[in-house]
Amino acid sequence: MTTAPSRRGDTQTEDADTILRGPSSPSAYPSLEEIVRPYDAKGYGLTVSDGSSTIRLSYPDLMARTAATAVRLREAGVTPGTYVACTVSNDLSSVLTALGTWMAGGCLVSVPPMSRDAQGLYAARFTPVLARMGCDLYVSDTDAGQLPIPPGARLLSQSALTAPTEDRHAVPQLAIQDAALVQFTSGSMGTPKGVVISREQLASQIQAGIAGMELEYGRDRIVSWLPLYHDMGLIAMFLYGLAARIDVVLMPPASFATQPASWLTTLSHERATISAAPNFAYRLAAAVPYEEGLDLSRMRASLSGGERIHWQTLLDFHRTAGPLGFPWEAIQPSYGLAEGVVGTTSNPLGRGPVIGPGGHVSLGVPLSGIQLRLRTGLEPTAIHLAGESRFSGYQTADGFVPSGGDWHDTSDAGFTHDGELFVLGRRNEVISLAGHNVFAEDAEAVAQNVGGRQVRACAAFRDPADKDRFAMFVEVDRTLARAPDSAADLARGIRSSVSHTIGTRLTSVTVVRPGSIPRTTSGKVQRSQCRDVAGNEGFGRRIITELR
């Protein structure tokens, strides 16, 4: 295994703080207006697949379709600064709506899709936020009664706005106002907060991401199943690729959810060099068989981010994908958050994952224009964010709340070692044990190692009846769901291993059927909702076995 030179910024110690600084941003880079108007791309473009059909558009053709959409949005009342709400799915109509909104000078409000378990709360939670920010237009083909449309706002038909036309429309030459994107935080189904991203912050982040992955016109090709209504899919995959003018292939998220082998299979068939996924996706991809003849040797960078990264998951993934040609050096652990637009740190390109103190995975160094501040030492401490990609503020039901101050508290805890960042977890999901902190993610990592491929997801959370200890929900595959005795053995094994490994006894281990554990729109488990379930009615008939 070869090791490329590390790309590092500066590490400084100020008083008792360590500040990680990314490389300086270039003095000039494309504006967001230039990015969404791809005049200069020849021969490359966007491919959208829905599983049964495939649409391929060159970037000039995509620009022509986007211009028609922008003109229709202008006719519908969009002017520079208008908020336009839409659930951005992985289809061409959604892409045209997003790009058309920006081409018309508007601000895209990316609304998460409705959760099947929260249909009654969806409109009640999101409507006040959209109303308070003055969102007058909602683009969708869904019935208005199922959408969080504020009083007086208009519903525009997405299919009509984005329909192909023989007419050639001039590209609207309109400047995007300060706010370009409102993206809701991952936990927004509980208390919606819209993270406001300015045009400069978004353009700066795109440039930093392109530099971090060294995207190159004529060489690279992105393949992604990540949902575009989440920042990792929309920005780190689609917009990075669009701005670099390289080929982008979008898969439907459901294709991976139902057939995890489809991700690596499509990487091979599309000759991909770039992709991304959360940790759980690498774990699921490692657990399924693959057809013969796949070739993943072209892969240069595959981001892993969005949740705690487990070293064992990376080993298991490469044990499966390595024989197919997937280079270990292409796996790129990263850290990001909506308040940082998307990407904050990344593993040096071409080095491969590195394990550090305590068995934790390094998340690398800050991207260009970004700074992180932590207390000096290996003990977990608060992570604070500053820099060019830091968000402007929150849109809430009570109004706009500016980000304020020089540093934003990410609510995450971590430490630095050899100038790189290690993230341990959320500070609100931690217990104190014999003078040190134990994070929910620590218990989850042990459980996933015990259960292996049979564990689809697990969620540890402070027990509502004993906040000094964790309880755990474990979601298993369908095979184990039909074998309650084996599920009970798994629960006992998890409790024993957690006790021996991290020194705390789980108050309960509840094994549940597939699809039971509540997740965010990006696929991460929602521990706070799990705590609510544990403190109220529970999972009922979805429980396979429960160990108390």
Residue 201 and residue 215: Cα distance in Å, rounded?
Answer: 20
Give the pLDDT confidence of 465-475 residue by residue, as tens digits: 888 899 999 99
Per-residue pLDDT at 338 exceeds 60? yes
Q: Tell me the backbone φ, ψ of residue 88, rounded to 5 degrees.
A: -85, 100
Nearest-CA neighbor of 177 among 352, 24, 337, 31? 31
User: Is 402 in the same domain as 493?
Assistant: no
Residue position matching structure tokens 């999901």: 429
Contact by Cβ (8 Å): 137, 156:
yes
Name the domain count of the chain: 2
Distance CA 216, CA 232 (A): 20
Could you give the 3-state DSSP secondary structure of residue 354? coil
Asked, for residue 477, whether it belongs to a domain, the answer is: yes
Tell me the mean pLDDT in the region 240-250. Answer: 97
Quote the pLDDT of residue 81: 96
In tens, the pLDDT along 143-193 reads: 888 899 999 999 999 999 999 998 888 888 899 999 999 998 755 445 689
Q: Say which CATH number the domain at 528 has.
A: 3.30.300.30
The helix/strand/coil state of 86 is: strand
Nearest to 356 by CA among 432, 304, 418, 406: 418
Helix (H) or strand (E) holding 531: helix 527-535
Domain span at residue 375 reads 1-30+260-427
Tell me the CATH number at 383: 3.40.50.12780
- Rounded CA separation 82/66 (Å): 17
Mean pLDDT of all residues in the chain?
A: 91
Asked if the structure places residue 490 within a domain, the reply is yes
Q: Which of 427, 456, 475 is the last residue of a domain?
A: 427
Residue that is last in its domain, among 427, 457, 484: 427
User: Which has the higher per-residue pLDDT, 437 or 233?
Assistant: 233
Is 288 domain-assigned?
yes
Q: Which residue has the higher pLDDT, 384 or 441?
A: 384
Do 417 and 290 belong to one domain? Answer: yes
- Residues 6 or more apart whose CB falls under 8 angstroms from that of 159 comprise 93, 141
- Convert the pLDDT of each residue in 19-77 to its tens digit: 999 999 888 899 999 999 987 777 799 999 887 789 999 999 999 999 999 999 999 99
At 100, give phi and psi (nearest 5°).
-65, -35
Instruction: Judge whether 209 and 411 are in contact, CB under 8 Å.
Output: no
Q: What is the mean pLDDT of residues 362-391?
A: 94
Q: Is residue 386 located within the same domain as residue 527?
A: no
Rounded to whole angstroms, how far apart are CA atoms 410 and 20? 15
Phi–psi pair at 280, nearest 5 degrees: -60, -30
Q: Is 447 in the same domain as 375?
A: no
pTM of the model: 0.88
Residue 297 — very low, low, confident or very high, per pLDDT cuts 50/70/90?
Answer: very high
